[in-house]
Amino acid sequence: MRSQRDRMLSGEPYDPSDPELVDLRASAVERCRRLLTLPPRDEDARRAVLVELFKRGGETVGLHAPFWCDYGVHIELGARVFFNFDCVVLDVCPVRIGSFTQFGPAVQIYTATHPLDAAMRRLHESGRPVTIGDDVWVGGGAIILPGVTIGSRTVIGAGSVVTRDIPDDVVAAGNPCRVIRQLDARR
Q: State the Cα–Cα distance between residues 11 and 174, nearest whole angstrom.
A: 27
CB 33 within 8 A of CB 44: no
Instruction: Judge whether 64 counts as a catalytic residue.
Output: no
Rounded Cα gap, residues 4 and 20, in angstroms: 8
For the residues of 125-184, what is the DSSP string, one character each? Answer: BEE--EEE-TT-EE-TT-EE-TT-EE-TT-EE-TT-EE-S-B-SSEEEETTTTEEEEE--
| CA atoms of 82 and 39, how far apart (whole Å) | 19
Catalytic choice (64, 74, 114, 124): 114
Cα separation, 36 vs 84, in Å, equals 13
Active site residues: 114
